[in-house]
Structure 1
């Protein structure tokens, strides 16, 4: 693997840890600042809002600068804002710094996706992008469980200090290993924004925001699913999360190979369709305790195959606005996070069991297939043959 890809993967590891570790140490933070868990959970929503705001904004602001310098700048922001969060003394300062910490997330993956694609040999662009996203899957596999353990047994502030340190290492890795790709100084902001005048842009935003929500409708309620429905002990939940992380790791790489083999759009339809089938299977076997383990791995793997195909769809249809499109995809992915968690929770509030969110996820993934098919028929076949 090229060292530049390793540097990008380090960034994915750092960002994955700062985003997902919050779920595991939420009770510890709530206790530290003397708030209820639902009140403290606003830190999760504020981060997602930061991603949504920062992805297009920072890409446009930095568009005339070389990608290597932009990526170092974004990770510097990551280091500063997560550092402020780790020492924030009260709830309001934590909320502000948590929002700010989300700003560089989408822009980093947007710029990084384009850089990874440019580094790749022809025909292997999606696989190179998937390698960058491997950092995020490793975060879920190793970083999040470790950060949760440290936060619970010592201090959540130590966890986020470690995350800051990873940001510094990423800056060094980008400086030493990433190639110098020149900036396109002729590109105008108005031209990049014109991407959002195209129907393909909004179809992609729609399919990402809805289709990827299938993953989050399931994973947002994974702990009560395996304890309340499958009957596992609460102490088994970390092992379930590790299995999901393993699945995401392999699924991410599989999605990259699939996108390069059969085209990104066809791969996306395959991935969303497989996700829908898998989530129905989760619902049907969730009362069988031992099935919780293989289904955690399988669902994590299938759900995460979608990442690389979507990034390639964004890049291939952007024509001069590739970085903005890829960053917008990350913002849409976080919208899917919010929608999946919200819609998946509706049947629970109506008194249904904790396996019903998987049916909501199935519906969202199925809509993802439909929207992707519409995209293929109306956009790909007519414009990008």
Structure 2
């Protein structure tokens, strides 16, 4: 439920760009900056909160992070101007990465060694189900009533998560004492840096396309606004499949799964511009773009394997890198669109980012393994 709430909050702005723009009296490109503000909040908050909370029991930390998240999303619903919305979205992003990192560690620690990838993908399942169900429903609710109600629903879900964690999750052992210096030393490995770079670059292509899905659907495919929730659901369906497959790929192929997912990403992003001109080809194409989420559980599990002594920080930092991609993708896509290359140029820009991620993998990560 917690990852479902986070996924709904993170991605709902992409489906409500026109409504939020009207409500805050700004243009759609400025609303895109709210996506980047949230992503930058994750980048800042993930490592900081992971280190500050490393001495707390995982149960206590998860409850605290979700209370923080509920409050910040309630603030997002109550803002009255654009600058207030920017601040609220930045603050909302702060607990995001630490929550996922701690939850993934908890799942992996109680799973058999050969099923850790599947366990991590199960934790991330709420995020992908949010793309499939939560985001389309929140978009529909925002279109029907007001965009602010979407964030109210997220705040309620985050509050319910706190109650469920408190009631159902075992307290667990208190973490062993570890200094910030020791954890940073364990974290500062070249391989960790390369994996985080792959996350920041490789995922950027997915967000480059997804962030501008609504205007692409309206202005390129010529579809009605009522198709937006269906397009979001197709992306979410692809994300659910990709999340499951990603965990199983890692359990079977280990770190080689990184290269497999990046190669697949290049193919689907290059195909997207050709499919975007009809609603009937755009829908399956955006579903294929959603499968790129498979990179998430693959990188998450690999980071936890190699970051001995700094697992919480590494697991949280993966989501910081993921959301750096969430900031980088819309920015690069917006630059291409502003340059007059058209809405479909996001596919080519995204493919270029996936190629760069694959180069980093081949030269850095795979080279070290060899």
After superposition, what is the alpha-carbon deviation per residue over 1:15-44, rounded to whole angstroms, capped at 9, x for unaligned?
111111122234333433444444444332
**Alignment partner of 1:344 is 2:301:** no
Distance 2:189 2:224 in 1: 50
**Alignment partner of 1:22 is 2:13:** yes
After superposition, what is the alpha-carbon deviation per residue over 1:132-167, rounded to whole angstroms, capped at 9, x for unaligned?
111011111111121122222222332222111101
What's the counterpart of residue 317 of structure 1? Answer: 306
Equivalent residues in 2 for 1:128-277 (5 A)? 128-263=119-254, 265-277=255-267
Q: Is the 8 A contact 1:126 1:256 kept in 2?
A: yes
What's the counterpart of residue 5 of structure 1? Answer: none
CA displacement at 1:113 relative to structure 2: 1.3
RMSD: 2.0
**Pick aligned residue for 2:290 from 269, 294, 300:** 300
**Pick aligned residue for 2:99 from 78, 102, 108:** 108
Secondary structure of 1:187's aligned partner: coil
**Alignment partner of 1:121 is 2:112:** yes
Distance 2:123 2:305 in 1: 18
Distance 1:359 1:26, change over 3 A: closer
Distance 1:182 1:272, change over 3 A: same
Distance 1:268 1:297 in 2: 20
Q: Is the 8 A contact 2:16 2:143 kept in 1?
A: yes
Distance 2:60 2:341 in 1: 50
Greater alpha carbon shift after TM alignment, 269-278 vs 280-289? 280-289
Q: Is the 8 A contact 2:125 2:243 kept in 1?
A: yes
What's the counterpart of residue 351 of structure 2? Answer: 362
CA displacement at 1:46 relative to structure 2: 1.8
Distance 1:137 1:104, change over 3 A: same
Q: Is the 8 A contact 1:65 1:185 kept in 2?
A: no
Greater alpha carbon shift after TM alignment, 185-194 vs 320-329? 185-194
Distance 1:375 1:330 in 2: 21
Distance 2:241 2:314 in 1: 25
After superposition, what is the alpha-carbon deviation per residue over 1:225-264, rounded to whole angstroms, capped at 9, x for unaligned?
334334434432321211111111111111111111111x
Q: Which runs of 5+ in 2 are unaligned?
A: none
CA displacement at 1:340 relative to structure 2: 1.7
Equivalent residues in 2 for 1:53-68 (5 A)? 53-68=44-59
Q: Which runs of 5+ in 1 are unaligned?
A: 1-9
Secondary structure of 1:124's aligned partner: helix
TM-score computed with the length of structure 2 as normaliser: 0.93
Greater alpha carbon shift after TM alignment, 360-369 vs 81-90? 81-90
Distance 2:24 2:261 in 1: 41
Distance 2:154 2:181 in 1: 36
Distance 1:11 1:24 in 2: 21
Secondary structure of 1:123's aligned partner: helix
Q: Is the 8 A contact 1:344 1:357 kept in 2?
A: yes
